[in-house]
């Protein structure tokens, strides 16, 4: 994490319009809102940043560069120089800037420094400003950007601390990181959380697409795990076309099964002598209308037809069978069984 300091303790008094001016003292630098360290590494990092950008750093008036308003330059930093006690800069002044300095209308130079949070070391130089109002010096949090909020836009808490810095610490704690977590650690953890959320959302969407189990899909004639669109289309197809036929076939099947069951119960009642052949039609209607009631009736009804008179066909008499009484009478009158079979049958 990088913080931005507009230094009060680090401001330098400018006399005239010198070509080389001190920007930052080496060592421990104290400001109204915190402190940081400046050393040879600070100079090296500032130099690398300056050379990488290949842009002159501005010296404006009253830190107008930070206010996102028109900010004319008083001068341009052309080169950074490491001196025995400070980091200095070779400056090319504008005519207006030189005039202000020579007339002592501005006397102080206030640098805007990028400070690394983990060790409070100055690592970059954003800009500098001519100023006569040290009280406007502020501190900002910045993450890889030169677009800063308006001067003074980041408020202090009741104790004078930086609210943004405190908020970042709270975020780090919420992410399971320590308060001193670096910018890279914060971004890495945030990336992990975003990735986990995307994976969870993708899994949920995939689950929402499967609306039927394997058995249901097979009954619908679809492959297991069919998506919602295919299942819906198949259901609509059955509803619009084939569902009526299936329902009719089901009713017919139930009717045939009921008729068969009724017929079986009637046949059993006939075999048991519980009803006579003349009662068949009535018994069939009764069994179809109330199977349980007919079964209870057949179980409790007395035997009304002797078993000896019940033909093996379930109550259907075999008219070809000759009774013993008829044979006895025929024998008395001299008619043989063969003649009886050939010329006459019992009515």
Which tens digit of pLDDT belongs to each residue from 1-57?
555 555 543 455 556 678 888 888 899 887 766 788 999 999 999 999 888 888 899
What is the structure's pLDDT at 222?
77
Burial 190-216 (b: 16+ CB within 10 A, else e): eeeeeeeeeeeeeeeeeeeeebbeeee
Query: Measuring CA to CA, which residue among 201, 170, 176 is closest to residue 188?
Result: 176
CA distances from 139 to 6, 112, 156, 236 (A): 6, 9, 10, 67
What is the structure's pLDDT at 60?
92
Which tens digit of pLDDT belongs to each residue from 315-335?
444 444 556 666 666 666 566
Average pLDDT across each block of 10 residues of the chain; the chain has 347 residues. List them in order. 51 68 86 81 92 89 82 92 91 92 85 86 89 47 33 45 68 80 82 87 67 67 75 75 67 88 92 88 91 89 69 48 63 65 55
Distance CA 1, CA 62 (A): 26
Tokens of 181: 């977590």
Distance CA 56, CA 92 (A): 10
Distance CA 186, CA 190 (A): 6
What is the structure's pLDDT at 144?
28
What is the structure's pLDDT at 159?
52
């Amino acid at each position: 994490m990088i913080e931005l300091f507009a230094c009060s303790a680090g401001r330098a008094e400018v006399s005239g319009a010198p070509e080389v001016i001190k920007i930052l003292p080496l060592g421990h630098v104290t400001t109204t809102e915190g402190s940081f360290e400046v050393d040879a590494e600070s100079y090296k990092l500032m130099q690398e940043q300056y050379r990488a950008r290949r842009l002159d750093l501005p010296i404006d008036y009253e830190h107008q560069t930070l206010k996102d308003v028109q900010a004319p330059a008083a001068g341009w930093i052309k080169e950074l120089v490491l001196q025995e006690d400070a980091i200095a800069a070779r400056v090319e002044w504008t005519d207006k800037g030189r005039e202000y300095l020579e007339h002592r209308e501005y006397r102080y130079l206030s640098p805007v420094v990028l400070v690394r949070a983990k060790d409070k070391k100055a690592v970059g130089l954003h800009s500098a400003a001519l100023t006569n109002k040290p009280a406007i010096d502020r501190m900002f949090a910045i993450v890889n950007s030169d677009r800063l909020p308006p001067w003074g836009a980041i408020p202090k808490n009741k104790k004078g601390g930086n609210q943004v810095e405190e908020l970042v610490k709270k975020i780090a704690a919420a992410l399971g990181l320590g308060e001193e977590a670096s910018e890279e650690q914060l971004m890495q953890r945030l990336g992990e959380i975003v990735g986990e959320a995307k994976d969870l959302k993708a899994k949920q969407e995939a689950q929402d697409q499967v609306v039927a189990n394997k058995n249901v899909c097979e009954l619908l004639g679809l492959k297991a795990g069919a998506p919602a669109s295919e299942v819906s289309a198949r259901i609509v197809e059955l509803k619009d076309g084939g569902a009526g036929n299936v329902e009719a076939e089901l009713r017919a099947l139930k009717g045939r099964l009921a008729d068969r069951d009724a017929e079986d119960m009637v046949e059993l009642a006939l075999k048991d002598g519980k009803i006579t052949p003349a009662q068949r039609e009535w018994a069939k209607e009764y069994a179809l209308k109330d199977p349980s009631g007919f079964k209870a009736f057949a179980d409790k009804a007395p035997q009304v037809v002797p078993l000896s008179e019940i033909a093996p066909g379930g109550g259907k008499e075999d008219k070809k069978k000759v009774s013993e009484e008829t044979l006895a009478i025929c024998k008395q009158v001299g008619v043989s069984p063969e003649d009886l079979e050939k010329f006459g049958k019992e009515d």
